[in-house]
Structure 1
Amino acid sequence: MPKKRFTVEQIIEKLCEAEVELARGKTIGLVCKQLGITDQTYYRWRKEYGGIRTDQDKRSKTWKRKMHA
C-alpha cells in the first residue's frame, strides 16, 4: 500500500479537525480513523506541527522565499 503524502496545510487542517472532534468527546482512535491516519501519525504531527496555524505557515514560507531571493 503506497504511503500518502500530505502538505503542511493539509496536516494543520487535519490537526484542527482532530482537536474539534476530541473536544466533542471522541477518542483518538476514532478521530484518526475518520481522518484516515494512524494514531502514531497523529501524535507525530501534533509534536511537529501542533503550534503552527495555517496563516503562520504561509508567512513563514513568504519570509523564507524573501531570504533566498
Structure 2
Amino acid sequence: MSTGKGIKRTRNQPALHSELKESHRIHLTPTAWSKLQKMAAVKGTSISELVEGWARESDIDGE
C-alpha cells in the first residue's frame, strides 16, 4: 500500500494511519512466513500492512 501519488512521506509522521508504527517481534515458521510473503505480494502491500489490517479489522475490542 502506498501513500498515494504526489504525497511525500515525512519522517516521524504517520503515513497511512493516525499513529506512528513501532517495532515488534513475532516468531513464525518458515512456512508461515513464506505464505505471508505471497499474500502480501498478491495484495501489493507489505507483511506489516497485512498484519496491521487484520488487527484493525478485528472487532475484539468492540470498536
TM above 0.5: no
**What TM-score does the superposition give when structure 1 sets the normalisation length?**
0.36
Considering fraction of residues, name the structure with more helix: 1
Q: Relative contact order (C-alpha < 8 Å, sep 6+): which is higher?
A: 1
**What TM-score does the superposition give when structure 2 sets the normalisation length?**
0.39
